[in-house]
Structures are given as structure tokens and as C-alpha cells.
Amino acid sequence: MRARALHPDVIAVTSALLQVNCVIVRGRAEGAAPEGPFGVVEVPAGAPQAETFVIDSPVLPEELELLPSLLGQAGFPAPSGLLATHADWDHLLGPLAFPGVSLGVAQSSAQRIGEEPGAAQRELRSFDEELYLERERPLALGAPQPLPVPGYVEIGAGRLELHPTGGHTADGMAVLVPWAGVLACGDYLSPVEIPMLSEGGGAREYLETLERLGGLLAGVELVVPGHGPILDAERAGDVLEEDAAYLSAVLERGEAELPEGRRSREMRAIHARNLERLAG
């Protein structure tokens, strides 16, 4: 697991498996003084305290176990909420690190979880069995809180913007941290994966999401995809153009050249599944 500070209020954690990214955001307390040279924030007496949200999750058991201590070492308070960009199992593991903390998802993701009871748990169990992994407790999602998207979530004295995504799956949201210039976009804009059209997704919906994300890039400095390296806005724009060209070619010609750097055997297999899904 790798941890990287993207801003005094934002930490990105990258899992050793699947390069899944988790984003930890601290909302400043109202009236807090600017960050000092030693990372100390002065809060006036009686002012509301800062709070923390954790977006998505790493994958390995030991990584999830380390998250609470990582927050403490960084001076972030324990999370008051968890967020998941979409309802794929590898983004829903926050409750294993922070049991009892409420999980917020887009209304579309809440609907998907309700229509597929136990799906995330079954997929996690299959993953663990294949890799001989053991966990201390089973994944308990409870009843995730549906969030209006587009919309926002208040965090401390600020707010996180929620923007709809679709195409990879039928559900999802991107989370923008405006004051930090950081965009957590879920399974889009990845430099290590081609666009993946999972069940419920679609190429046209994916292109619409890329258009929306493109409109957000002008106001951000860093983009955290669901999988893969963190990107600056210029590189994210390059990935967006490559992905849009790939999807447009698939729709127009039923075939496409894979983007350079994303032509591995696994990417070719994903491409084949994309074509099968579109043909079906």
C-alpha cells in the first residue's frame, strides 16, 4: 500500500492489488487557521471540529487494518462518513476498516445494491478464496445512504461536489474536492485500463460521462482514477481523449485500436468482452 499527500486535506492510498485508489478528505473546521509549516491547524475554542470522509477503499486485509492508524498519524479525525464512487465490490470495503460508520453512495448505486443483495459479498469471497486471503470479519454494508447526484455533501466548513457517472456500470458518481483541486472519478480516466463496459454499462453513456468529466478538469490539479497512477489534469485530459476515441471507434466501426500503453493481454480480453456486450 502506498500513501501520498495530495493536499494538506487530501491523502490518496493505493492498494498493492489492482492499484485501487482510496481518497481520504479532511474538511477544515470552521474558523481554522491556515495550515502551518508543521501541519498544525489552530481551531478557535468552541468552533465546530473538522471531519473526515473516506472515498472508496484499498483491497487487502492488512491495508484496511492500517487505515485508522494512517488517519491518526496524518492528524485527520476518525471518519464521520464513507463514500463509494460506485457499487463494484472493490470500492465498497470501507466498512471493513471503519465498522459502524455510515456509507453514502449515489442513488443509482443504492438502487443497484438493493437489487443485487449480497453480490458484493459474494464477489469479495470469491476474490479472497482465489488469493487465499482471510479477513477478520465479513463485509457488512447495512443500508447505504442514497445521495442525490448531482449534488453535494457538506464536510466541515466545506462541501464535496457529487457528479453523475455511468457507462462503466449503470451507477456511480465522481467526487470533487473543490478547495484542494482533486477529483476522485471512480473507474474512469485510468491510464492502466481501457474503458470497461460492465453489466448495465454502455459506450454512449460512457462517452457522456467523459464529456462531463472533461468539463471538470479545467478546475482541478489532480485526478484520482479508480485504478492506476494519480494524474495531473493535462495527463487526465490525454487519457480522456484516448478513451473517447476508442469508444467512438467501437460504436462506429465495431472495432478499435487500443490506446498505446494499454495493450496487454488483459486489456485485449476486456476489449473482447466490450465487443461481445455491444453486440449482444
- pLDDT given for residue 279 in this prediction: 85
- pLDDT given for residue 139 in this prediction: 96
Helices (H), 5-81: 61-74
Using a 10 angstrom Cβ sphere, with 0-12 exposed, 13-18 middle and 19 or more buried, the burial of residue 81 is buried
- pLDDT given for residue 50 in this prediction: 77
**H or E segment to which residue 144 belongs:** none
Give the other-Cβ count within 10 Å of 116's Cβ: 13
- pLDDT given for residue 142 in this prediction: 86
Query: Which residues lie below 8 Å from residue 263, measured CB to CB, with a gap of 6+?
Result: none
- pLDDT given for residue 207 in this prediction: 98
C-alpha gyration radius of the chain: 19
* pLDDT tens for the 280 residues of the chain, in order: 899 999 999 999 999 999 999 999 999 766 554 443 333 344 444 444 579 999 999 999 999 999 999 999 999 999 999 999 999 999 999 999 999 999 999 999 999 999 999 999 999 999 999 999 999 999 999 889 999 999 999 998 899 999 999 999 999 999 999 999 999 999 999 999 999 999 899 999 999 999 999 999 999 999 999 999 999 999 999 999 999 999 999 999 999 999 999 999 999 999 999 999 998 7
Domain 2-279 CATH superfamily = Ribonuclease Z/Hydroxyacylglutathione hydrolase-like (3.60.15.10)
β-pairing verdict for 10-14 and 21-27 = antiparallel
Nearest in space to 210 (alpha carbons), one of 244, 163, 255: 244
